[in-house]
A = this chain, B = another copy of it.
Amino acid sequence: MSDVVSLKVETESVELRLLNAAEAILESEGPDSLSVRRIAKAAGVAPMGVYNHFEGKMGIIDALFRRGFARLGAAMSSLVEIENPLEALAEGGRRYRSLGLAHPMAYQLMFLRPVPGFNPSIESAKVATAAFEGLINAVRRAAALDLLRDLDAVVTAQILWASYHGWVALEICGLGFVSDVDAGAEALGAAIWMGIANPNLVINE
């Protein structure tokens, strides 16, 4: 039987080819270029392939959405390897921003609603929420050492996320009026840290 090559492997390859083609188009040309025919042509199949494997355009967008959040989740979950909780939090912010800047188109797809009619599936929404577990965990570690203001860890994590998200989104869209965005991002990080840190710790500084 070793001479028989199952075409099921090839079937999986079509799905992967479509998804990789879509990702390449997204990264190089932006979400506006993600048409069914464009993706299918780049993958070397007929447009119906998108329907056979992803149930349509929204299905393949959903898969790209999940890829983006999986990437973010990996960056956040590895914060646990950083022993110092303060450093882990600061690194969380830095990683969030650098990921966004490294993948601006994926960032838009994840957060800025660029594809009309697209709503994440329930599965994808779970992946998206899970992506922040690492950050929430880092917040909890810092809180356990009394390093933070007396706020719910989930609220603190969302404040961190919202602030960086806002900054990165403005940055990616070219909005804003500061001249040095890198220095601005540092200042934002410092301000947020001042805002969530245990006031007694700040006083002792």
**Residues of A bordering B, CB below 8 Å:** 31-32, 108, 111-117, 128-129, 132, 136, 149, 151-152, 154-155, 157-159, 161-167, 169-170, 173, 175-179, 183-184, 187-188, 190-196, 199, 202-203
Copies of this polypeptide in the complex:
2
Determine the chain B residues whose CB is within 8 A of the CB of A164 once the complex forms: 166
Pick from B31, B115, B159: contact of A188, CB under 8 Å:
B159
CA distance A191 to B196 in the complex (A): 6
Report whether B111 and A175 are in contact in the complex, using a CB–CB cutoff of 8 Å. yes
Supply 13 further A-B pairs (C-beta < 8 A) apart from A149-B191, A159-B187, A194-B199.
Answer: A112-B113, A114-B114, A136-B177, A157-B177, A158-B184, A159-B184, A163-B188, A163-B192, A165-B166, A169-B169, A190-B195, A192-B192, A202-B202
